[in-house]
Chains A and B, each alone.
Chain A
Amino acid sequence: MNFAFSEEQTMMADVVRDALLRECGSAALRSRIGAVCSFDQDRWRKLLALGVAGVLVREEAGGLGLGGPDFVQIAEACGYACLPEPLVDHAGVVLPLLSACEGTAAGEALARGLEDGAFLALAHPQTPWVVAANAAQAVVLPGPDGLRLVPGADTVRVQQPGIDPLRQLFTVSAPPEAGVRIAGPQASRTLLARAAERGAVFTAAELVGLAQASVDLAVAYAKERHQFGRPIGANQAIKHHLASAQVKIAFARPVVHAAAALVPPEPGAPPEDMEARARISHALLAAGEAAELATRTALQVHGAMGYSWEVDVHLYLKRALSLTGRWGGPEYHRQRVAERVLSAPLGPDRLFPQPVRETDTTPMKRTA
């Protein structure tokens, strides 16, 4: 039992964090607001050059064959930077899905995603708005006959203007015979279910990252901004708001990390049991609450400045709103938690669902 990241895991995330500092600072973010295409190909290529796309893809398919704990801090860093490009979906959800598909078309697309930095998107039923579909080389589209991989140019993309000024949203469809079928109806259900679990975990990580970024922004501002002859951050009301937000973050993060540990490299055993599903839902709920409190606190601490486009607070607030609605939304996840709480054994020995071993003790009896 060791609930800490390895040095390699932290180092890999540090490399991504440094690159994001260089490529995705405030000025870079602002320069893309209102752009025809919010997706910055140049930044995308630089980030993918770090080798992050293949973290969750098995080695035979050209990836690193690692698991959720190797990617979760990277996703957190993307959230912290408010990265417009959906790197987290691409590497955390779509490429692992392709790596679990049969056939050459999926394999080729995967190779393009890994080697050429091609951006690949997924129109998942739980995330109806596909981020940056206009920049996607191909889109995975679920349909009645399973999953199809359709070249971007052959899809119909309808922009759905959304609140996040850094991310363009689209509904994507295609004629029934467009592209290539990469999974039948049966396989497609499993693949989409696993994709949703990964999506929820890594979105939770992005939310934790952006929550921390919002607190950090507000702390910096509270030290700088003076009223009544002293920094506003010397006032207890400001301190206590920020401390409360930090508490929320501190107790969402370990849940997200524990949920990430349930994500195997594809194709791996999917977290299908109720306890794993509840942990993942818990992660998304806790991270969503932390992000909501942190972004609203950052707005309050910045005063009217926070209500303007002069500072980045609004970018985080809007991203938080956008992310919390994805992968089913809070009510769906609360249901999944309630289902587990009300029907599976409870107790401190159930914190980490364990594979059954010979020495394993029986789960605790529920007493009335």
Chain B
Amino acid sequence: MDLRYTDDQLAFRAEVREWMAANVPDEPLPSFDGTRAGFEAHREWEARLNAGRWGMVTWPEAYGGRGLDLIRWLIFEEEYYAAGAPQRVNQNGIFLLGPTLIDYGTQAQKARFLPPMANGEEIWAQAWSEPQAGSDLAAVRAKAVRDGDSYLLSGHKIWSSRAVMADWAFGLFRTDPASERHKGLSLILFPLDAEGVRRQAIAQINGETGFAELFLDEVRVPVENRVGAEGEGWRICMATAGFERGLMLRSPARFQMTARRLVELYEANRETCGPAQRDAVAQAWMAAEAYALSVYATASRLIAGGGIGAEASLNKIFWSEMDIAMHETALAILGARAELLPTAPAAGDVGRWLDGYLFSLAGPIYAGTNDIQRNIIAERLLGLPRA
């Protein structure tokens, strides 16, 4: 155990910091879920990041990455969030599908899909959930019917984040019509502008169209768009979900920066705050630090050759509950102003806390609900019997 950064790691931090200082836009970009302009501004940011080879530092150099280990990824993320850099519009691609392709994709798939993913040319959506397959993902009904060298994709996907404006989606489809549950599913990539795809934007809790419904009617894609063997989709998707819940989706720096902003909010409102707020603010900082320490421990373990399995579910519960608690604390500090939208003349800078609060409420739902995560912890980590 050695909790000091090496000189190389410190130099790396300085390099990231310098690049971010020179490149992060001064004004926050407009939301990528609000307007096409906001979406495209984020796409441009991805291209700029990639031009600096900061798109995905853990990827192999051949695909635009730097081949760095997870400790450096954490350092990168710390500097990224500290600099106030934009949210990653392509997070479904770079954090979820990217690592999945690196582990399970063919050489041709990696060469075809990773570079345009890294530079934002192709923004990805995840098309797993269906109206009848939410928590019970194995109930997926959308099908992929083999037709020569193609699949014909048909079915109804829902809650697909970014799909309103994204370019591609990775979906879970039933390739064996006689199969049930986890068997006979395959992971297939399809362009969202293909013939037979109809997208229907869905307004989210804040009124923006952050996700979409996808109606697929015999969408033709080449067989090469399947990731992994036919029928292996479930296993591969669970590996993807591990990245999502476990490490990549929510890097600790995001929450450490929220904690820091919360302390600043507390300090700016000190006269109207009491000991309850002081404790809640200290608690927020402790939670963010605990999460960061835990991720550093996981990263050290993974670098030493360990794996991450059901432990990912512990992380998902922790960060999602922490995120809500932090935003609730902010709203409590704001008092009467908490309910104001950013457009209200009296709002000042409070609007983003409200936005953040609304988004935090989704945390216990997406990436597998926290109830499902508790089932996983109980059954797979603790070994309790299935119902």
A332 in contact (CB, < 8 A)? no
B314 touches A247 (CB 8 A): yes
**Known contacts A282-B290, A337-B286, A348-B82; is A4 also within 8 Å of B384 by CB?**
no
Q: Select one of B78, B289, B311 contacting A349, CB under 8 A.
A: B78
User: Which residues of A are found within 8 Å of B259, using beta-carbon distances?
Assistant: 346
> How big is the A interface, by class?
35 or more
Distance of A2 Cα from B292 Cα, bound (Å): 14
Q: Tell me which of B43-51, B124-132, B217-225, B277-285 binds A.
A: B277-285
Distance of A8 Cα from B13 Cα, bound (Å): 31
Q: Select one of A255, A258, A261, A359 contacting B7, CB under 8 A.
A: A359
A349 touches B13 (CB 8 A): yes
Binary contact readout A238-263 vs B (1 if CB under 8 angstroms, 0 otherwise): 11101110110011111101100100
User: Which residues of A are found within 8 Å of B260, using beta-carbon distances?
Assistant: 346-347, 366
Q: Select one of A9, A234, A346, A361 contacting B1, CB under 8 A.
A: A9
Q: Which residue of B lies closest to A258 (CB)?
A: B293
Q: Which residue of A lies closest to B385 (CB)?
A: A234
User: Which residues of A are found within 8 Å of B297, using beta-carbon distances?
Assistant: 3-4, 254, 257
**Known contacts A239-B374, A359-B10, A359-B11; is A250 also within 8 Å of B318 by CB?**
yes
Q: Select one of A235, A252, A354 contacting B4, CB under 8 A.
A: A354
User: Which residues of A are found within 8 Å of B253, using beta-carbon distances?
Assistant: 348
B387 touches A236 (CB 8 A): yes
Within 8 A of A (CB), among B283-302: 285-287, 289-294, 296-297, 299-301
Binary contact readout B1-21 vs A (1 if CB under 8 angstroms, 0 otherwise): 111111101110110010000
User: Which residues of B are found within 8 Å of A286, using beta-carbon distances?
Assistant: 286, 290
User: Which residues of B are found within 8 Å of A5, using beta-carbon distances?
Assistant: 1
User: Which residues of B are found within 8 Å of A234, using beta-carbon distances?
Assistant: 384-387
Distance of A360 Cα from B293 Cα, bound (Å): 21
Distance of A69 Cα from B81 Cα, bound (Å): 30
Binary contact readout A333-368 vs B (1 if CB under 8 angstroms, 0 otherwise): 010011001100011110110110101110010111
* Complex A-B: 22 CB contacts under 8 Å: A1-B2, A1-B5, A1-B71, A2-B1, A3-B300, A223-B383, A234-B384, A240-B375, A243-B382, A246-B382, A250-B311, A250-B318, A251-B318, A254-B296, A254-B297, A255-B286, A257-B293, A257-B297, A337-B282, A342-B266, A348-B81, A351-B289
Residues of A within 8 A of B (CB): 1-6, 9, 69, 215, 219, 222-223, 230-231, 233-236, 238-240, 242-244, 246-247, 250-255, 257-258, 261, 279, 282, 285-286, 334, 337-338, 341-342, 346-349, 351-352, 354-355, 357, 359-361, 364, 366-368
